[in-house]
Amino acid sequence: MTSASTNPDTLSYDQAGVNYDLIDPLKVSAQRAAAATAVHLAGHGFTEVAASRGESAYVVDVGPFYLASIVECLGSKVLVADAMAELTGKSWYEGIAQDTIAMAVNDLITVGATPLVVQAYWAAGGSDWFGDKARAQALVTGWKKACDTCGVAWGGGETPALAGIVEGDRIDLAASCTGIVSPKSRLSVGDDLAAGDAIVLLASSGIHANGLSLARKLVERLPDGYLTEVEPGLSYGEALLAPTVLYSPVTEALAKAGIGMKYCANITGHGWRKLLRHPSAFTYRIAQVPPITPVLKFIQEHAKQDDREAYGTFNMGAGFALFVKSEDAERTVEVARALGVSAIVAGQVEAGPKQVVIEPIGVTFGHDDLQLR
């Protein structure tokens, strides 16, 4: 990320131990090596959808429909759940399970897929982790509830005890998801994204599951740590643990309403820079931003981040972006709101240089701010 804040008191993602300048080159290298393996599909009579390379989910053409797949790790949000369990005596793993499912499902639906099957990967630092029956059962209960919300089958999973790799009494959670794009016209990899298309933003529930390394680092600055109040009756730790919104009910409802998604972006790591994910040169002009959830406003204030740093790291109230025809924009908002998900028509796609222009806060992200291909 370029043009970082010069305020010496600013807490950045880099300072929290996450440097995308080091991570992203590996992603690009891996994507290039992976692309060379696509020829193996021909031996099975299938082909890849080349435009899905570098997107949030990978798509294969199997004839009458497309198959899409994704694997995602939850990350360090479990550390917040563990810390809050010690402070409150309550298990937070039901929400953590939803977060993990959301990381995979919300990526899968960006390509227009209907999620079908979820697999679990629960790698503990030792067998004792599974001995805490209340915590383990909360994970199971939350996992099933999230699957029910998304209408997916929980196919199975892996529960290794990895002493020496994962720290004792910790767990690393991940999920893979397979889905189907049917009819094929539902595919949304941006092939027909065009100037004049509308950008609809779906509201987040909070930090979701990205930026937690910085959020945890911030605890060192707070007077009461995780128990510091974000607002009356809501602690910082509790606010961080608000479960990630599952957006697949919205995308499924849009398909049933005959509203086509031209492109989608799951706003996770890299924050609003994710709007630059499409490879073509477009300007994404944002005329309206959603309300910032209290916990994200709290983080920005206490981490002393300017808007550029905050919007380039966190979702800042927008968890998912839909690119639709301008005439479908208001109906898209109505469909989302009918399902309890707040949404706004935030802006539009324009011809021009590859950049995101967030007019209400005077922040622009350019091509060099997100290079994942």
- Asked if pLDDT for residue 210 goes beyond 90, the answer is yes
* pLDDT mean over 117-133: 96
Owner of token pair 């499902």:
105
pLDDT at 330 over 90: yes
pLDDT band at 203 (very low <50, low <70, confident <90, very high): very high
pLDDT tens per residue, range 161-197: 999 999 999 999 999 999 999 999 999 999 999 999 9
Max distance between CA atoms of the chain, in angstroms, equals: 61
pLDDT tens string 103-113: 999 999 999 99
Q: Which pLDDT band holds residue 6 (cuts at 50, 70, 90)?
A: low
pLDDT grade, residue 28 (50/70/90)?
confident
Q: Which amino acid is it at 257? A: A
The stretch 255-273 carries a mean pLDDT of 96
Task: Answer yes or no: is pLDDT of 7 > 80.
Answer: no
User: In a 3-state reduction of DSSP, which class is residue 319?
Assistant: strand
- Per-residue pLDDT, averaged over 13-17, amounts to 57
What mean pLDDT comes out for the span 29-41?
92
Query: Among the listed ranges 4-8, 30-34, 185-189, 262-266, which one has the minimum average pLDDT value?
Result: 4-8
Are 88 and 133 in contact by the 8 Å Cβ rule? The answer is: no
For the chain, give the percent of residues with pLDDT over 70.
95
Residue 1 has pLDDT above 50, yes or no: no
Residue 3 has pLDDT above 80, yes or no: no
pLDDT above 70: residue 205: yes
Listed residue (137, 153, 66) closest to 101, CA to CA: 153
Predicted pLDDT of residue 247: 98
Q: Does residue 132 register a pLDDT over 90?
A: yes
Strands (E), 52-133: 58-61, 66-73, 114-124
**Per-residue pLDDT tens for 339-356?**
999 999 999 999 999 999
Convert the pLDDT of each residue in 77-95 to its tens digit: 999 999 999 999 999 999 9
Q: Taking residues 56-84, what's their average pLDDT?
A: 97
Locus of tokens 């503990």: 124
User: What pLDDT shows up at residue 302?
Assistant: 96
Q: How far apart are the first and last CA of the chain?
A: 16
Residue 18 scores a pLDDT above 90 = no
Question: Cα(365)–Cα(373) distance, rounded to whole angstroms?
Answer: 17
Q: How confident is the model at residue 2 (pLDDT cuts 50, 70, 90)?
A: very low
